[in-house]
Structure 1
Amino acid sequence: MSAAAPAPAPLVVVMGVSGSGKTTIGTLVAHELQVEFIDGDSLHPIANVEKMASGTPLDDDDRAPWLEIVGRTLHEHGERGDGLVVACSALKGMYRDQIRSQAPAALFLHLSGSLEVLTRRIEGRSGHFMPAALLQSQIDTLEPLAGDEDGYVLDINQPVAEMVREAVVHLRELVTARS
């Protein structure tokens, strides 16, 4: 009897509104899964960064090239068998569809929390281009994961170590279920 083939390295989009912990949780989950982490904010075209820094929310036309880059980056890692965790707000189902059009194996880890927790986190950080005033527009835009989207919703109102443990367990289950 031969051993079962190992599950493929996961392609994970850590999604949620600003302040939900995408970078922190994404970095730690990637470490646990032994894959690379990329902060999707670093993939934004400069025009998007400037627009957000000025306090203007991005529109769907602004996001399209960014989502294409995110999807292409996931796809490239998947083709190499490397796996990847990328932080990307992916607030609307159509955005996640754009990502999945290039990276169909992508899983979504939705970091979910209350307005109070999110506001406190945003106001407590420095050097980030997303002002707290734009948080409500992101919450209004957010569409929960749909039934055809492979992913897991993670409550951010718990210690970081617990969040990472829970996320890794559920992501591994999703990868195994696909194999």
Structure 2
Amino acid sequence: MSSRRLALISSLASLGSVIYFLESFVPFPLPFGRWGLSNLVVLIAVVLYDWRTVLAVSLLKSVISALITGQLFSIVSLMSVAGSTAAAASEYIAYRTSVFGLVGVSVLGSVVNNITQSIVGAMSIKSWSFLLILPQMLILGIPGAVLNAYLAERVVKRAKNNFGLDVTQKVTNNENDPR
């Protein structure tokens, strides 16, 4: 792994973790819910980088966030890792196949994240009643997903214009790829 790629993954995961922490101060209408703004960094990775980078950013963001909040080996942490990984995979596939625009990709990720987290939570407590708040979580996740898509689009445009990143290049899985 190149040092540039490692620095990129670390920077995105760290930024996502800081956003996750700051987001905890913004009230959410449902218990244990979050707005999902820290998933912005995963969405940026989906647009700019290969699958391995997206997966690394997603997993590291979840683990670092769990460390910061003191929930590393909790059910919440397991739900976060499962949801984030499933969302990253669905976003990556949807974006690469051009099924949706960036807003659709982000909303899809939010939906997949919420469903995955709800299933993992229900299985963990051995009660499907956990799924009763899923419809509200799905609806309340849409504004954060739309905001993430808007911000990701802005960041990618600035990266292309100011730093010369060519986001139109074909993404490769080459270890020596500086992206």
After TM superposition, the score normalised by the length of structure 2 is 0.33
Q: Whose helix fraction is larger, Structure 1's or Structure 2's?
A: 2
Task: Using CA pairs under 8 Å that are at least 6 residues apart, name the structure with larger relative contact order, 1 or 2.
Answer: 1
